[in-house]
Chain A
Amino acid sequence: NAGVTQTPKFQVLKTGQSMTLQCAQDMNHNSMYWYRQDPGMGLRLIYYSASEGTTDKGEVPNGYNVSRLNKREFSLRLESAAPSQTSVYFCASSYLGLAGQETQYFGPGTRLLVL
């Protein structure tokens, strides 16, 4: 049981280049999330998917697109990278707990540097 996995671990891009961050979970969770983490800013939600086939914007969606490929996989795409997108990106997935709350589990993160 690998939990939540992310690829790549580290990536350097030039301004204007595109790339896709991959995320997969093997815990049979319904919901998946993409966050970015910047110093002093905590974790900010980019997009989330409450179930297979649905996606919704979070707090900071501009410049990003997502695809919920199936129940296991949720990808984040940067169409034209900008230096402001330099950050650490975390994917998370969650299940509905017995008391009705969604407990989120995080992947190891992808460090992205845009020059």
Chain B
Amino acid sequence: GENVEQHPSTLSVQEGDSAVIKCTYSDSASNYFPWYKQELGKRPQLIIDIRSNVGEKKDQRIAVTLNKTAKHFSLHITETQPEDSAVYFCAGSRPGGTSYGKLTFGQGTILTVHP
């Protein structure tokens, strides 16, 4: 089955700096890659996603890039703010069959933004 590896496990930045979180996946058939943000004690919430027919997607200060050949995708947060502090999870999903819709999550990255 799919395996998703996420790095780094912890990331500490100063307010205003950029943060980058990287994920690799094993199943070349995977075609959907969402990113979730989870604040302490809260539920995971979708912040951005990308499909395999797209190389990059932006939404204000966040962007995601996908390299299908290398089977890795990354989350980029620019101009970080203290409220960006949270745990971020990447995930992958493949279409079709019994795996349809199932997400495999990375282990998570604890992002801390220092004022």
In the complex formed, the residue of B with least CB distance to A48 is B102
Q: What 0/1 readout, one digit per residue, does chain B (8-27) give for beta carbons within 8 Å of chain A?
A: 01000000000000000000
Q: Which of B39-47, B66-74, B77-85 contacts A (4 or more CB under 8 A)?
A: B39-47
Shortest CB-to-CB span from B38 to chain A, Å, is 9
- Min Cβ gap A74→B in Å is 14
- B62 close to chain A: CB less than 8 A: no
Contact A41 B51 (CB under 8 A): no
Q: Are B101 and A90 in contact (CB under 8 A)?
A: no
A90 — which chain B residues lie within 8 A by C-beta? 43-44
A-B pair count, CB < 8 Å, reads 58
Partner of B95, one of A100, A103, A106: A100
Contacts of A64 in B (CB 8 A): none
Beyond A42-B108, A90-B43, A90-B44, whether A104 also contacts B98 by CB under 8 A is: no
Residues of B within 8 A of A41 (CB): 107
B residues neighboring A (CB under 8 Å): 1, 6, 9, 31-32, 34, 42-46, 49, 51, 89, 93, 95, 98, 100-108
